Amino acid sequence: MLNPLSPPDGFLIGHWTDADSLTGCTVVIAPATARGSVDVRGGGTGTRELEALSPLANAEGPSAVLLTGGSAFGLAAADGVARWLEERQLGRPTPAGVVPLVSAAVMFDLAEGDRRTRPGPEQGYAACELASTGVPQRGAVGAGAGAAVGKLLGRERACRGGIGYATSVLAGGEVVAAVAVANAFGDVIGADGELLGAPRGDGGELIRTAEQVRQMTHFPGLPPLSQRTVGNTTLACVMTDAALDKRACAIVARMASAGIARAVDPAFTPLDGDVVFCLASGSSTPPSPGLAATWSLTVLGTVAASVTAGAIRDAVLQARAQPLR
């Protein structure tokens, strides 16, 4: 995962970034026949068209997944993604023409840059225009442009977050990739337990949020918690060319959420809006239910969690050279 490969064939990833206002959006355009689902863990999510990803819904999957800044305002960027897809006849066929399904999740960056500047339809369209194959740009770009992690002591003592990417290849040759936005309340932890992004102490040293929280009964001398730590999210989109049906995508998305818990501490708090998508493009027939299929899902979900954790860590490593303003 140190040298990531390109996404599976047919997947496109694009960013729109406003480096001055510190906001942006990132789109993952799926192959036409992809299936998809989602796992929602955070307590403060902002989303669009997630019901279509339920295993009980009749749509097989989204035409695209949008990860966007701008909090709830940024959901408007999905309209531009839908327009771009419709112009190319990409979407669900209906008697009235194709209808793109764009599932979206937001992160809160309004406190970081110019809160009046948010991704909208034109910005979502622009991200699609810039979408391409190959390893995407990472760091403080796209949906991660205004991200920060380790916000227990406020954003002024936080570390810069961003957008990251990681891949792995299964023994059978299937590619599993993940793109992730790291904007967590908690710390980002390396595979060896090292702090990669966390609150900074009085001397600039990184301190562990979980240890500080355990010792706190209140926040003496500090503004209310809601003013200091509001707006946290870890978002991820797993992509694979394995053959999965929609139910299997839901299982892999759920397992991939373990990658957030490995790389972020604490994770899934009421202050966070954590969401993980899984998109699968494999064209072969998924294995019939049974031990072989269960084992295959176990392997795929295990790897999906690893690349999700890797993408979160990559986001901070790529962006931390850019200081918070």
Which domain CATH number covers 143?
3.60.70.12
What is the rounded average pLDDT of the residues 239-266?
96
Q: What is the pLDDT of residue 287?
A: 64
Phi, psi of 203 (to 5 degrees): -95, 10
Residue whose entry in the numeric block shows the structure tokens 């990132």: 26
d(CA 82, CA 91): 9
In-domain check, residue 80: yes
Of 29-38, 65-74, 221-230, give the lowest mean pLDDT range: 221-230
Q: What is the pLDDT of residues 279-310, one digit of tens each?
A: 999 876 666 667 777 888 999 999 999 999 99
Helix 291-319 vs helix 246-263: angle between axes, to the nearest 10 degrees? 40
Number of domain units in the chain: 1
Convert 63-82 to b/e letters by CB count within 10 Å (16 or more is b): bbbbbbbbbebbbbbbbbbb
Look at residue 130 in the predicted model and tell me its pLDDT.
Answer: 97
Report pLDDT for 220. 45
In a domain, 324, yes or no: no
pLDDT band for position 61 (cuts 50, 70, 90): confident
Task: Return phi, psi of residue 151, to 5°.
Answer: -100, 15
What pLDDT score does 288 carry?
67
pLDDT at 321: 66
**Of the ranges 24-33, 95-104, 165-174, 283-292, which one carries the lowest mean pLDDT score?**
283-292
Give the H or E element holding residue 148.
strand 148-149
Percentage of residues in the chain having pLDDT higher than 90 = 70
Look over the chain and give the mean of its residue pLDDT values, rounded to a whole number.
90
- Find the mean pLDDT for residues 173-182: 96
In a domain, 53, yes or no: yes
Element (H, E) at 84: helix 77-87
Q: Which residue has the higher pLDDT, 314 or 33?
A: 314
Q: Residue 320: pLDDT band by 50, 70, 90 thresholds?
A: confident
Higher-pLDDT residue of 189 and 230 is 189
Q: Does the pLDDT value for residue 120 go beyond 90?
A: yes
| 115 in a structural domain | yes
**Within-domain flag for 7:** no
Taking only Cα atoms into account, the Rg of the chain, rounded to an integer number of angstroms, comes to 19
Domain holding 71, by residue range, is: 12-319
User: Distance between CA atoms of 195 and 187, rounded to whole angstroms?
Assistant: 7
3-state helix, strand, coil in the chain (%, to 5): 30, 25, 45
With vertex at residue 182, the alpha carbon angle to CA 176 and CA 188, rounded to the nearest 5 degrees, is: 95
* pTM as predicted: 0.92
6 in a structural domain: no
Largest CA distance in the chain: 64
Higher pLDDT, 138 or 220: 138
Say what the alpha-carbon torsion angle 187, 190, 191, 192 is, to the nearest 10 degrees.
-110
Structural domain contains residue 4: no
Which amino acid, residue 65? V
Closest CA to 41 of 211, 258, 287: 258
Give the pLDDT confidence score for residue 109 in this predicted structure.
86
Q: Tell me: pLDDT of 85 over 80.
A: yes
In a domain, 118, yes or no: yes
- Between the CA of residue 246 and those of 8, 166, 212, 277, 296, what are the distances in Å? 18, 23, 41, 11, 15
